[in-house]
Chain A
Amino acid sequence: MSSPIRITVRLFALMADRAGQREIPLSLRTSRPTVADALAVLHDLFPAIPWPTGTMLALNQSYTTAAAPLTDGDELAIIPPVSGG
């Protein structure tokens, strides 16, 4: 067994309001975990988080996809549809 990978999930706006948290530490025990694995764990922990159409993902402050691999210490942000300007 390899040791778990620890990451931080960042939530914003509606998602943070509904989860009642903005930063969620996650431990991932799957070997070579991806963003999709982290999202599955997140859904188990917070099944009620809304997931608006068009929600994007960012890894260490750059847009990414669900297939991206994770490493220890990564910051995964869930980016609901933006509305700046």
Chain B
Amino acid sequence: MDSIRLQNQPLDVVAAIAAVTCPEAGGINLFLGTTRAESGGGGGGDTNSGGAPQLLALDYEAYEPMALAEMHKLLAHARSTWPITRAIIWHRLGRVAIGESSILIALSCPHRAESFEACRYLIDELKKSVPIWKKEIFTDAARWQMEK
């Protein structure tokens, strides 16, 4: 029933909710991580042209087989801790424009408290251990997050 995948296409929220809906669940928790507008730029200090470079998009890259394996491990651990009925973790790869979602986590549980806890655990841990990287595409340059 669980669905874990990496995809280039936009994330389908309606399909995700349908996939985790089930009669045993009393609550569905859905987290969307979205690309936030930023200024700053990849070049060093652009003070003459008046106006800092703007973030246009993010480019995501993954070590795909390991990223999927790590996402399965996280979900297995979450299942051993909370009574998850159904769960989804979908992550975008490639270009993600400002305002679009890069990650969708949706899960259902018998009660709402555990659905919040499980969802928070999954997004927090995914950010620490799953081998996925974002490159920030600014109007003037591109840089990997780790170059900050």
Contact = CB atoms under 8 A, between A and B. Distances in A.
A33 B143 CA distance: 35
Interface string A15-59: 001000000000000000000000000000000000010000010
Contacts, number: 71
A71 to B, nearest CB: 18
A61 B132 contact: no
Interface in B23-58: 33
19 contacts: A10-B63, A12-B61, A12-B63, A14-B133, A14-B146, A14-B147, A58-B131, A61-B65, A77-B66, A81-B145, A82-B133, A83-B134, A83-B144, A83-B145, A84-B67, A84-B127, A84-B134, A85-B126, A85-B132
Contact of B144 (A13, A61, A63, A84): A13
Interface residues on B, range: 20 to 34
B133 A13 contact: yes
A30 B67 CA distance: 31
A80 B69 contact: no
B60 interface: yes
Contacts of A52: 146
Contacts of B103: 84-85
A48 to B, nearest CB: 15
Q: For B62, B67, B131, B135, which residue has the most chain A Cβ atoms within 10 angstroms?
A: B131
Interface string B120-141: 0001001111111111000000
Pairs A-B, 3 closest by C-beta atoms:
A84-B132, A83-B145, A61-B66
A20 to B, nearest CB: 15
A82 B130 contact: yes
B86 interface: no
A13 B131 CA distance: 10
Given A12-B63, A14-B144, A84 B135 contact: no
